[in-house]
A and B are shown apart, each in its own frame.
Chain A
Amino acid sequence: MVKASIDEDDDYIDIDDTGPEGLKGADGGYAWEEEYKRSWDVIQEDASGSIQSSVSGLSELQRKRRRRQRDTAVVQRGIMRHVTLVIDQSEAMGVRDMPPTRMHAAMGIAEQFVAEFFDQNPISQLSVIGTRDGLAEKVTELSSNPMDHVGALRNRAQRDLAGEPSLQNALELAMHGLRRAPTHGLREIICVLGSLTTCDPGDIEQTLQALCHSEVRVSMVHLAAEVHICKRICKLTGGIFAVAVDSDNLKDALFELIPPPPLTSGHATADMVRMGFPIKARATEVPTPCVCHHELSFSGYLCPRCGSKICSLPTDCDVCGLSLVSAPHLARSYHHLFPEENFIELSNTILSHTCFGCGVEWNNSTTNSDIKSTNQKSVPVALPSKYQCPRCKQLFCLECDIFIHDTLHNCPGC
């Protein structure tokens, strides 16, 4: 799937701000011409002088924002992923706009990303590459063990930042590492960049052509601004480009990349992958070495093909190369294949008195007449919304809705 022609219209930069977005505000004027919104006027007292109803309304709005509409289409997804994480270690990452520095914020969030990534994609593999001083170096090899990567990231965070990153070198090194990955898996590169410049030895267009040819999907999160070449690479390879304004934004943008993405038609090669399901070796009195780390341990797993001892799953056997997993690892990915449907929001319904999941009673006692009205824009205190499952028609509260879709992936009523 080689995209040789460049789509000029999409890349045209609108210098005069006369394009469709422009900088116009809601009333037609510019954003700075609008009336200043006094955010403290949102809090209003009710008849008895208490502000509890306004505060609970505001907290309800905040929690509603956490509830996201997810992509619940039942499509083929890339479950077995091979991802390379590229971290920028240039001088631009020492800027203090994200406390304490961009580097510390990015490394902390990268550790959380690694842990969550292996939680959601247990049979995938990850490797980490760092780039600084015009060079790219491999931090960890492709592996399924989150501890290796977290430890390596922590060590890396101690190192000094220097020079400029090299986007081309990093992408070439990542591609080289991903060549060993089998074609039925999805190959991805995720970059976290802070620098607006890059120091490349050759033409990055050639790297871009090679990426498209190898069907590698590149996604980037930039900490400073939207850089044209980064956005172009992401767009042509089918990835996502995002700019993070603060650490929460960075975390959200990175975590968006964790659920397995739907496969486009060019990628969809399905294969039967040969996998082994090892049994746990009996705990011995004398410690024996494992073949992955060559360390002595009392217990482990035995590869069913060659019988060698492995410490942890999932991994590839170092002796015979068989992929070794256990049944719960495959079961962790089932909720991506059979996702829970989004709940429908209802506000006025008397179908039940309590939330079906947690049994809390609906608080229907707050009414709008208690609140003094003022001239400023006010936040209406809404009745708590109920959320209905489209299949079993049971009602749930907001907390249960968020919990069911984020963590549980099961509807208690179905």
Chain B
Amino acid sequence: MVEPVESDPSLLVVVLDVNPTAWTRSPLALNKALQQIVIFINAYLALNPENKLVVIGASKRNCQLLYPSDSTVDAAHDIQVYEQFRPVDVKVLSGVQAMVSQVTVENINSLDEQQSLMSRALSMALCHIHRVSESQTGKIWSRILVLSAGEDAPREYISLMNSIFAAQKMSVLMDICKACGQKDSVFLQQAADITGGNYLKVNATADESLLQTLMFTCLADHYTRSIINAPGSALIDFRATCFCHRRVIDIGYVCSVCLSIFCKMAPICSTCHTKFSFKVVRPDRAQGNSLATPTADMSSLELK
């Protein structure tokens, strides 16, 4: 297991949720939030000249690579701004503007409108990380910063979990910053916990707090995180919800074919329509698993 060293470069992938419907409900305006994110990105690039950056924007309908992109934007040389920062800033801001202007909203109040394509953006981010790690000769440590504004999409659960496990396998940290929205995103909380990143909820009544939170917790790279004390996370509930009532359950029944979780025993699985075989349980052979097969050998009951 290779340990990070102070001089190792990093790759940061910023996934911006630019769903305008979600941002309208936030006390922090999208353009102000973007200014703070751009400052954070500049700070990250200034830390190490070899640091790399990728920015991906996600809205309800599509995901787009904002930086590095070959969009022809006039990044005129400004003597007051550090030369490396200007193309990044201009491309990110103009890219977000283009994405927002393409969005057409049918029903602003429907819950669907607030859900962005988070799993697609994370898959693209991981493909980028894989490409950069393969082409880099030295070791590069990657992390993903997700700026989330919308709600969880239940239909994306499986693809989101696949992305999270792939990130864990590649030792990619995922930091989640929930900029607006009342409810915590359960899926993204699990993402931060499984990959070893931070889940931060920003109370955006004051303008400066987003940038302060990002600078203090998300700017640190893999090496520094072993030294600094990150903010503690609340106890995350890893219990499952049953498929029939969407209630959180402690003890449930899992179909062995399709792994659907139910709170009550049923003769047929409602997801894969498999008929279950029920075997008779004899009292003298019960061993804790209530569906013990009657053909179990007597030798399995010997004392250990």
Cross-interface CB contact of B258 among A183, A273, A326, A337, cutoff 8 Å? A337
Query: Which residues of B from 108 to 146 have beta carbons under 8 Å from A?
Result: 119-120, 123-124, 126-128, 130-131, 134
Residues of A contacting B299 with CB < 8 Å? 176, 179
**A270-B256, A408-B127, A412-B123 as given contacts; A277 in contact with B159, CB under 8 Å:** no
Task: Say whether B130 contacts A182, CB under 8 Å.
Answer: no
Is there a chain A Cβ closer than 8 Å to B250's Cβ? yes
Residues on B with beta carbons closer than 8 Å to the beta carbon of A334: 158, 161-162, 259
Interface residues of A in 324-338 (CB under 8 A from B): 326-328, 330-335, 337-338
Size of A's binding interface in residues, CB under 8 A? 59
Q: DSSP class of A's interface residues: helix, strand, loop or mixed?
A: loop
Q: Determine if B162 and A408 form an interchain contact, defined as CB atoms under 8 angstroms apart.
A: yes
Q: 1/0 contact trace for A264-287 toward B, CB 8 Å? A: 000001111111111110100000
Question: Considering the chains assembled together, what is the distance between the CA atoms of A231 and B198 in angstroms?
Answer: 52
User: A331 with B256: in contact, given A275-B251, A326-B238, A400-B130 (CB under 8 Å)?
Assistant: no
Complex contact A359–B277 (CB within 8 A): no
Partner of A330, one of B127, B254, B296: B254
Q: How many residues of B contact A (CB 8 A)?
A: 64
Which of B236-254 touch A at CB < 8 Å?
236-240, 249-254
Please tell me if the beta carbons of A358 and B251 are within 8 angstroms of each other in the complex.
no
Counted as pairs of residues, one from A and one from B, with CB atoms less than 8 Å apart, the total is: 179
Task: Report the minimal beta-carbon distance from B192 to chain A, rounded to whole angstroms.
Answer: 13
Which A residue sits closest to B156, measured CB to CB?
Answer: A410
* Nearest B residue to A274, CB-CB: B253
* A399 B134 Cβ-Cβ under 8 A: yes
Q: Which residues of A contact B274 (CB under 8 A)?
A: 76, 270
Taken residue by residue from 170 to 208, chain B's Cβ proximity to chain A (1 for < 8 Å, 0 otherwise) reads as 100000000000000000001000100000000000000
Cβ–Cβ < 8 Å partners of B235 in chain A: 279-280, 282
Which listed residue (A183, A399, A409) contacts B162, Cβ 8 A? A409
What chain A residues lie within 8 Å of B47 (beta carbons)?
none
Q: Establish whether residues B239 and A327, one from each chain, have CB atoms under 8 Å apart when the complex forms.
A: yes
Interfacial chain B residues near A179, Cβ < 8 Å: 296-297, 299-300
Which B residues, 253 to 302, have Cβ-Cβ distances below 8 Å to chain A? 253-259, 261-262, 265-266, 269, 274-277, 287-293, 296-297, 299-300
The 8 closest A-B pairs by CB, nearest first: A321-B288, A357-B127, A304-B250, A412-B123, A358-B131, A331-B161, A326-B238, A327-B240
Residues in B lying within 8 Å of A, measured CB to CB: 63, 65, 68-69, 119-120, 123-124, 126-128, 130-131, 134, 157-159, 161-166, 169-170, 190, 194, 235-240, 249-259, 261-262, 265-266, 269, 274-277, 287-293, 296-297, 299-300
Q: Which residues on A are within 8 Å of B, measured CB to CB?
A: 76, 79-80, 119, 176, 179-180, 182-185, 269-280, 282, 304-305, 320-323, 326-328, 330-335, 337-338, 355-360, 399-400, 403-404, 407-414
